[in-house]
Amino acid sequence: MGEHGVGLVLRAAKVFTPQRVIDDGVVLVEGKTIRAVGRSDEVMVPPQTTVMDVRPHIVAPGFIDLHVHGGNGSDFMDDTDADFETVTRFHAAGGTTALLATTCAAPIEDICRVLRRVRDWQARPPVGSKVVGAHVEGPFFNLEMRGCHLPEYVINPQPSALNPLLEHADAMRHLTIAPEIDGALDAIERLRSAGVSVAAAHSAATCEDVDAAMRRGLHHVTHLYNAMSVFVQRGPRRLPGLAETALVRDELTVELIADGFHVHPLRMQLAVKMKGISRVCLVTDAMRGAGMPDGIYAFGPRSGKRAFVRDGIAVMPEGTGFASSTIQMNRAVQVMVEQVGVSLADALTMASAIPARVIGIDHRKGALRAGMDADIVVLDEQSQVRLTMVEGEVVYRVESP
- We report the CATH number of the domain holding residue 348 as 3.20.20.140
Are 242 and 373 in a shared domain? no
Residue 5 pLDDT: 44
* Dihedral Cα 40, 44, 49, 55, nearest 10 deg: -10
Q: What angle do CA 105, 109, 114 make, to 5 degrees?
A: 75
Domain containing residue 32: 3-60+367-397
76 and 30 in a common domain: no
CA-CA distance, 70 to 127, in Å (whole number)?
Answer: 15
202, 156: one domain: yes
**C-alpha to C-alpha distance for 184 and 142, rounded to whole angstroms:** 11
Query: Is residue 223 domain-shared with residue 191, that is, in the same domain?
Result: yes
Q: Which of 214, 245, 218, 251 is nearest to 231 (CA)?
A: 245
CATH code: domain of residue 28: 2.30.40.10
- Say how many domains are in the chain: 2
Are residues 106 and 185 both part of a single domain?
A: yes
CA distance 350 to 64: 9
Which three-class secondary structure state does DSSP give residue 120?
Answer: helix
> In terms of domains, do 53 and 137 share one?
no
> In this structure, are 182 and 318 located in the same domain?
yes
Q: Are residues 99 and 115 in the same domain?
A: yes
Q: Which residues of the chain have pLDDT under 50?
A: 1-5
> How high is the pLDDT of residue 235?
80
**What confidence score (pLDDT) does residue 6 get?**
53
pLDDT of residue 321: 84
Q: Are 225 and 264 in contact (CB under 8 A)?
A: no
Same structural domain for residues 140 and 288? yes
* Same domain assignment for residues 20 and 141: no
Q: State residue 237's pLDDT score.
A: 80
Query: What's the rounded Cα separation, in Å, for the pair 389 and 401?
Result: 19
Give the strand pairing for 70-71 and 393-397.
unpaired
Q: pTM of the predicted model, to two decimals?
A: 0.96
Q: Which is nearest to 131 in space by CA: 359, 367, 346, 369?
A: 359
| 139 and 278 co-located in one domain | yes
Q: Do residues 175 and 359 touch, judged by C-beta distance below 8 A?
A: no
Asked whether residue 327 falls in the same domain as residue 184, the answer is yes
Q: Quick one: pLDDT at residue 273?
A: 98
Ranges of H-type helices in 68-107: 81-92
